[in-house]
Copies of this chain bind each other. A is one copy, B any other.
Amino acid sequence: MNFTLQGVDSQTAARAGVLETAHGTIETPIYMPVGTRASVKAIEQRELLELDAQIILGNTYHLYLKPGTAILQNAGGLHKFMNWPRPILTDSGGFQVFSLSELREISEEGATFKSHIDGTRHLFSPENVIDTQRLIGSDIMMAFDECPPHDADPDYLRKSHELTLRWAARCQNQFAKTSGVYGYEQSLFAITQGGTNEMLRAESTKRLVEMDFEGYAIGGLAVGEPAEEMYRMIEVSHPLLPANKPRYLMGVGTPENILNAIERGVDMFDCVIPTREGRNGRIYTRTGILNLRAAKYRDDFRPIDEGFDNYVCKNFSRAYIRHLLNVGEILGLQLCSLHNTSFFIWLTKTARAHILKGDFQTWKAEFFARYCHEQESDKR
């Protein structure tokens, strides 16, 4: 993997870079669509290519449970299994073990949990999570971390972050002892923890940076804390993270969150908002969010976002998509997921262009002037 900074904004910490992987190049800042279970929900792979999704996510926890590593290995890895030719990043499963599974027990060894699907018992350790990601064949693997709740007490937070550090070292060790199963190079990113405690966050970041990973995720945020605390943690991390390595803010977020984090030096984002909210008819446009299930769109024959360049806006009206959602047609879920994902990809791509052009802050202000105005008007 190779990361090159192409430009840094003169007024903010915003950066534009290029990340080269075995499956192709990723231009940062970037929004990465989430394909948890080997599918970005309700979107076809050829459509992701059409939207110019340069990288997608998979999830180690979900893929380990189904289809399981044996099938992924027989397929020749996740890229071949799902026929996705471009880069894939896999989360390590840490977050899912703590958010989805039952009866988890954490020990020095790892996390024992019961599957949310069938109740079977499993152990995730730093070593076997690396082995699983080797079999998945993701271009970017994540270290196994403990993700504490945002209201964890300071004692727990410290112990948890120290455990995550020891696990990160074991991940790095296992990563060094193994190699790609399918003949191409994989990379390993560390995940910083420490909640919203500045001292712990700084310590976590420094210690992981000393261990010299290929990239760094800022983890354990977007779990319920106020956005301002999240931004503060990014600001704490910024000077401590090496400028020449990519930075990934996990699970974030709204357009506001993403642009504010880009401004603070973040390069990579993933979030289920576009597909999850899309399935509920919450549609992101350049003039704000539309709740497309609302009756007022019944005979609104304008496109979702007039002039926006995608299949949905060029071909269908708000009234038609509202009808599809209203009667429960699957096509409604498809079109809303496709549009929202397209919008988020456009957002980071456009931010990138303005960073390189040198007017990121001006563009951001203009974007929000228009975005927020209409969003409020939709609430009336």
**Which A residues fall within an 8 A CB radius of B?**
37-39, 41-46, 62, 66-67, 70-71, 74-75, 81-83, 298-299, 301, 311, 315-317, 319-320, 323-324, 326-327, 329-335
Inter-subunit contact A326/B82 (CB<8 Å)? no
Closest to A329 in B: B39
**A contact face: mostly helix, strand, loop, or mixed:** helix
CB <8 Å contact, A75 and B333: no
18 new A-B contacts, CB < 8 A, other than A39-B332, A44-B311, A75-B320, are A37-B324, A38-B323, A38-B324, A39-B330, A42-B334, A43-B331, A44-B334, A46-B311, A66-B323, A67-B319, A67-B323, A67-B326, A70-B299, A71-B299, A75-B319, A81-B320, A81-B323, A83-B320
Which are the 4 A-B pairs with shortest beta-carbon distances? A42-B330, A39-B331, A39-B329, A67-B323
A290 to B351, CA, bound (A): 47
Q: Which residues of B contact A38 (CB under 8 A)?
A: 320, 323-324, 329
- With A67-B298, A311-B46 known as contacts, the answer to whether A41 contacts B330 (CB < 8 A) is yes
Docked CA distance A329–B317 (Å): 26
Chain B residues, CB < 8 A from A37:
323-324, 327, 329
Q: Assess the A66–B330 pair: CB atoms within 8 A.
A: no
Instruction: Say how many copies of this protein the assembly contains.
Output: 2
Q: How far is the CA of A319 from the CA of B68 in the complex (A)?
A: 12
Closest-CB distance, A86 to chain B (whole angstroms): 14
How far, in angstroms, from A37 to B326 measured CA to CA in the complex?
11
List chain B residues, Cβ under 8 A from A41: 329-331
Partner of A315, one of B45, B74, B311: B45
Is the beta-carbon distance between B81 and A44 smaller than 8 angstroms? no
A84 to chain B, nearest CB (A): 10
Whether B298 and A71, one on each chain, are in contact in the complex, defined by CB atoms closer than 8 angstroms, is yes
Cβ-defined partner of A82 (8 Å) among B62, B81, B320? B320
Chain B contacts for A330, CB-based, 8 A: 39, 41-42, 330, 333-334
How many Å lie between the Cα of A166 and that of B216 in the bound state?
Answer: 77
**Cβ of A30 to closest chain B Cβ, rounded Å:** 22
Query: A316 contacts which chain B residues (CB < 8 A)?
Result: 83
CB-based contact B317/A75 at 8 Å: yes
Complex formed: what's the CA distance from A42 to B337 in Å? 13
Q: Is the CB of B66 within 8 A of A326?
A: yes
Known: A39-B324, A46-B311, A324-B39. A71 touches B331 (CB 8 A): no
Compute how far the CA of A82 lies from the CA of B81 in the bound complex, rounded to whole angstroms: 34
Please, which residue of chain B has its CB at the minimum distance from the CB of A47?
A: B44
16 A-B interface contacts by CB (under 8 A): A38-B320, A39-B330, A39-B332, A41-B329, A41-B331, A44-B331, A62-B327, A67-B298, A67-B319, A71-B299, A71-B319, A75-B301, A81-B319, A83-B320, A330-B333, A330-B334
A331 to B311, CA, bound (A): 18
Neighbouring B residues of A326 by C-beta, 8 Å? 66-67
Residues in B with CB closer than 8 Å to A331 are 39, 41-44
Contacts of A333 in B (CB 8 A): 330
Bound together, the chains give a CA A319 to CA B332 distance in angstroms of 27
Q: Which of A37, A298, A316, A323 has the most CB of B within 10 A?
A: A323
